[in-house]
Amino acid sequence: MNSEPTYDKGRHLGPTTPSSWVTRFAPLAPADGLVLDLACGGGRHGRHFLGHGHAVVFLDRDVSDVQDLAGHANVEIIEADLEGGGTLPFAGRLFAAIVVTNYLWRPILPLLADAVAEGGLLIYETFGLGNEEYSRPRNPDHLLRPGELLDAFGKDLQVVAYEHGLRHDPKPRVIQRIAAVNANAPVAIEPNS
């Protein structure tokens, strides 16, 4: 099954197509494994994985833009405010892949590494310092410091790829991103397409 579910954008103002970083590394996720789309928004990344045969947990503080998936056999929708304190709704669970884009809440970073199953994949992509010169977010609390994702995940996971810098697609922004696996052996990656 390679067709990705389509949806109406609703109130979600972000992009509806998956990030090229996510689609590039998504094939490294174990086939048919459970995927966590954290801070999912409209669910563009979870929908990508769902369209490739994965069961997906969509998690956000407002899940109205993924309600069209409610009742789907391979979908779990969790509405939760990760920044509100208390037990995290994914605590104690392991995932074949965890995807986080355009979201940063530093206290959960170590918990994400622990939630990647053996052989599993973590893809994280969000804004870095310097982005304040171009667009939102501008608050340094919401911008990664250089190397911060490497520091957060590099000791527990095998880094497959990492970037930090100015991008111009579709508009100027400073992005930091990482793809990492929970594996002891080298991982075969395909060249950029």
Q: Has residue 31 been placed in a domain? A: yes
Q: Which of these ranges, 40-49, 120-129, 138-147, has the smallest mean pLDDT?
A: 138-147
- The domain total for the chain is 1
Q: Has residue 122 been placed in a domain? A: yes
> Strand 173-181 vs strand 116-127: parallel, antiparallel, or unpaired?
antiparallel
Q: Has residue 61 been placed in a domain? A: yes
Q: Is the pLDDT of residue 186 over 80?
A: no
Return the CATH number at 131. Answer: 3.40.50.150
Question: Domain range for residue 100?
Answer: 20-181
Exposure of 104 in the CB half-sphere (CA atoms within 13 A): 21
pLDDT at position 9 is 43
The answer to whether 123 and 26 are in contact (CB under 8 A) is yes
Q: Has residue 188 been placed in a domain? A: no
Q: Has residue 32 been placed in a domain? A: yes
Q: Has residue 114 been placed in a domain? A: yes
Q: Has residue 145 been placed in a domain? A: yes
13: which residues sit within 8 A by CB, 6+ positions away? none
Q: Has residue 68 been placed in a domain? A: yes
How do residues 50-59 score in pLDDT, each as one tens digit? 999 999 999 9
How do residues 27-73 score in pLDDT, each as one tens digit? 999 998 999 999 999 999 999 999 999 999 999 999 999 999 999 99
pLDDT band at 129 (very low <50, low <70, confident <90, very high): confident
